[in-house]
């Protein structure tokens, strides 16, 4: 059942009629697709998500792990996270009620009106709770994912070579100087992380831009907590990062370490974001990453 974005209407109807009787299907609209899954909105109220993995056992493993992660992070809300109605592990399918809100990625024209103080408070307090979840109780289902700083730089260099034609000429020298630098020192700090916390996964009320939810926990892992700050810094800038850290619980040395590592990861990750935007044909990702390049390397 797991796989690509082909028409899945009949599969969805059969799944819901069997597993959730009473949920008559009136409409099915594809809600999005990433490298890990494809999602459909049913009746404007349910999300049905199919895992994608070339490994035949991968979709079941992904759904099983995400169900356990969601059971943990639900207790840390607000903001809201998906609460599964159904996890069909053998089929690689997760069903949950749609969380109200619009991804910040889709509201870039409204970003000048984002109240960064309020945004930073919600995200900073949530990440403080998330990053204090006991790792020992999570290791049997949340994978450990640790790239060295050298591996981050090597990945960034490969992605940069793929998108260099799209990089403004004035930014190439500072980018290439960064890629030639020695990697920073490693950290031994690891916590439970969302691990893909960009603007596409942060939902807000489109009228007020107040955070309503955090979605897509498929990449959750035990890793450096700075990874959860890096993509927000990349997508929204220094003031957003500062506002979050103002509300993040930790001593000054820990917070400053998070700030520095988030900046490094943000610079490394922006080329992968550009690559995804180009390869997948998602203009919003390309526009966002070009804007980020100017902030990160000007």
- pLDDT band (50, 70, 90) for residue 6: low
Number of domains in the chain: 2
**How confident is the prediction for the chain on average, in pLDDT?**
93
pTM of full prediction above 0.85: yes
pLDDT one-digit tens code per residue, 182-198 = 999 999 999 999 999 99
Cα–Cα distance for residue pair 265/207, rounded to 1 Å: 31
The b-or-e profile of 49-85 (16+ CB within 10 A means b, else e) is: bbbbbeeeeebbbbbebbbebbebbeebeebbbbebb
Is 186 in the same domain as 229? yes
Taking the mean position of all CA atoms in its chain, how far away is CA 48?
18
Is 137 in the same domain as 272? yes
Is 78 in the same domain as 171? no
Is 134 in the same domain as 272? yes
Is 137 in the same domain as 244? yes
Range of 34's domain? 9-97
CATH of the domain at 93: 3.30.200.20
The closest alpha carbon to 160, from 282, 267, 272, belongs to: 272
Given the structure tokens 């700083």, which residue do they identify?
149
pLDDT exceeding 70 applies to what percent of the chain?
98
Cβ(82)–Cβ(47) below 8 Å: yes
């Amino acid at each position: 059942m797991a796989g690509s974005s082909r028409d899945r209407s009949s599969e969805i109807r059969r799944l819901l009629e069997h597993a959730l009787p009473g949920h008559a299907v009136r409409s099915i609209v594809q809600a999005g697709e990433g490298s890990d899954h494809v999602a459909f909105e049913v009746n404007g109220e349910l999300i049905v998500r199919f895992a994608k993995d070339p490994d035949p056992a991968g979709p079941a493993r992904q759904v099983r792990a995400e169900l356990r992660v969601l059971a943990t992070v639900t207790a840390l809300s607000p903001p809201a996270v998906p609460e599964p109605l159904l996890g069909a592990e053998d089929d690689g399918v997760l069903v949950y009620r749609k969380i109200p809100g619009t991804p910040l990625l889709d509201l870039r024209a409204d970003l000048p009106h984002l109240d960064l103080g309020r945004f930073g408070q919600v995200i900073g307090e949530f990440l403080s709770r998330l990053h204090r979840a006991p790792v020992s109780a999570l290791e049997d289902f949340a994978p450990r994912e640790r790239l060295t700083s050298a591996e981050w730089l090597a990945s960034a260099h490969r992605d940069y070579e793929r998108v260099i034609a799209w990089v403004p000429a004035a930014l190439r020298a500072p980018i290439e100087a960064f890629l030639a630098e020695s990697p920073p020192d490693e950290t031994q700090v690891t916590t439970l992380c969302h691990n893909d916390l960009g603007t596409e996964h942060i939902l807000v009320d489109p009228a007020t831009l107040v955070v309503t939810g955090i979605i897509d926990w498929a990449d959750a892992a035990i890793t450096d907590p700075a990874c959860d700050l890096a993509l927000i810094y990349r997508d929204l800038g220094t003031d957003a990062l500062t506002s979050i850290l103002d509300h993040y619980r930790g001593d000054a040395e820990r917070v400053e370490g998070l700030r520095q590592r988030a900046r490094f990861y943000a610079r490394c990750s922006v080329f992968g974001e550009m690559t995804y935007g180009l390869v997948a044909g998602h203009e919003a990702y390309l526009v966002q990453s070009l804007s980020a390049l100017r902030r990160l390397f000007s």
